[in-house]
Amino acid sequence: MDRYRVPRTKEMEFGGALGTAALTLLLPGAMWYLLTACGTKEASVLQVPPVPTPRTLANPQALLLVLAWLGLQAALHMLPMGKVTEGIILRDKTRLQYRVNAFQVLGLTALGVGAGLAAGLRLSFIHDHLLELAGAATLVSFGLSLLLYLKALLASEAALAPGGNSGNPIYDFFMGHELNPRVGSFDLKYFCELRPGLIGWALVNLAMLLKETELRGSPSLAMVLVNAFQLLYVVDALWNEEAVLTTMDIVHDGFGFMLVFGDLAWVPFTYSLQAYFLVGHPQHLGLPAAVAILLLNGLGYYIFRSANSQKNTFRRNPNDPRVAGLKTIPTATGRRLLASGWWGFVRHPNYLGDIIMALAWSLPCGLTHVLPYFYVIYFTMLLIHREARDERQCLRKYGLAWEEYCRQVPYRIFPYLY
């Protein structure tokens, strides 16, 4: 097993141990700040929000609900439906198996929620107890990350994550020490990456729509647009679940606090900020503006989906007629890089589409507040940072061929700008 041992992480990211220690506290703090500010009349980012009470941070009922949600999603994931597929080849030359059934799970969850609503369930309680639920999800994230770190200490050296094996406990706790932590055949990272967080996000959005309906008799056009756009994004991710197996998160990053908190708390509670904002700060959206925003989202989605599909098709079968005619650059690894089509336009066309969509999700909230624009600002920063991480890995993997690609396709995300 020694020859498969994962080398020590030398280049630490996010400012090393100090930076990751700060982020471990700052990220939950930022989420708390955003939600509290959004719940006030002013919704100002400059107003210092009240200090959270212990009861809001650790509410037993909210904790039970979050655990029940995770339990339900885990149980649905384990149902023998959907196909089983293999992940990429690991260091020890083995491949893990994954059950692909997130889309069916979404369908079953939707049926359950529909039945609940028909039976009188007041889903808008999610709006009324948003802080408690976010606090509970944060607590669960800390607990799970700690268990994962302890479990990783017992794992074989070949099972560790290349990015989370520095030997510094704080850094490795944040980045994730073990690459693919599993309990039996249940893969914790693969499960958390999409299902509880993304379906939870759609559920929180729906709760906001229902709350608005309770308050004003019907949902606003702005709220319908935000719900529809983000639901499309969630459905798309679940429908293309298999593609997640080749993302940086699954292939390179361990499962630590960054991803656990990101998946279980950050995504459902901060990505739904626009819908939460609209409940307390109704916006009038005229039809021409709505059509323009709809077209913008359509453009973003088209770029995002076709760029991701083009690369996935090419990686699966370079001779597929849909991609066989594209220009490519050979690399020493035997794999080729696409150098025309979407991947000849900019080096990360999928990020460009994603950022355009992010803007379209904020615009329905009007131009009077900064808060609903948090997502597009944060997301642009996240993707610029992620792009830099990916470039470093690609340069390491492909060397001269990557340099040639960068020469042929000079812009990273934004054509003629960056």
Ligand X SMILES: NC(=O)C1=CN([C@@H]2O[C@H](COP(=O)(O)OP(=O)(O)OC[C@H]3O[C@@H](n4cnc5c(N)ncnc54)[C@H](OP(=O)(O)O)[C@@H]3O)[C@@H](O)[C@H]2O)C=CC1
Ligand Y SMILES: CC(C)CCC[C@@H](C)[C@H]1CC=C2C3=C(CC[C@@]21C)[C@@]1(C)CC[C@H](O)C(C)(C)[C@@H]1CC3
Residues at the contact surface with ligand Y, assessed by CB under 6 A: 27, 193-194, 236-237, 244, 247, 249, 258, 261-263, 266-267
Residue placing its CB nearer to ligand Y in the complex, 178 or 263: 263
257 binds, among ligand X, ligand Y, none (CB under 5 to 8 A by kind): none
Residue whose structure tokens are 């991480």: 389
Give the bridge partners for 86, in sequence order.
Answer: 97
Q: What are phi and psi of 327, to 5 degrees?
A: -70, 140
CA distance 265 to 271: 10
363 binds, among ligand X, ligand Y, none (CB under 5 to 8 A by kind): none
State how far the alpha carbon of 104 is from the alpha carbons of 111, 187, 188, 224, in Å.
11, 18, 19, 24
194 binds, among ligand Y, ligand X, none (CB under 5 to 8 A by kind): ligand Y
242 binds, among ligand Y, ligand X, none (CB under 5 to 8 A by kind): none
337 binds, among ligand X, ligand Y, none (CB under 5 to 8 A by kind): ligand X
Q: Where are the alpha helices (DSSP H) in 90-129?
A: 102-118, 125-128
The site that binds ligand X (CB under 6 A) totals a number of residues, namely: 18
**Residue 343 near ligand X by CB under 6 A:** yes
Q: Where are the alpha helices (DSSP H) in 186-327?
A: 188-194, 200-216, 221-239, 248-251, 257-261, 267-270, 273-280, 287-316
CA distance 178 to 191: 15
Residue placing its CB nearer to ligand Y in the complex, 74 or 329: 74
* Shortest distance (Å) from residue 122 CB to ligand Y: 29
Residue placing its CB nearer to ligand X in the complex, 182 or 315: 315
Residue whose structure tokens are 């107003």: 47
Contacting ligand X within 305-324 (CB under 6 A): 308, 311, 315
* Shortest distance (Å) from residue 176 CB to ligand X: 16
CA distance 373 to 362: 5
* Shortest distance (Å) from residue 120 CB to ligand Y: 33
The tokens for 277 are 């904002």
Residue 107 CB neighbours (<10 A): 14
The tokens for 220 are 């606003």
**Residue 351 near ligand X by CB under 6 A:** yes
338 binds, among ligand Y, ligand X, none (CB under 5 to 8 A by kind): ligand X
Positions that interact with ligand X (CB under 6 A) = 247-248, 304, 308, 311, 315, 335, 337-338, 343, 348, 350-351, 354, 386, 390, 393-394
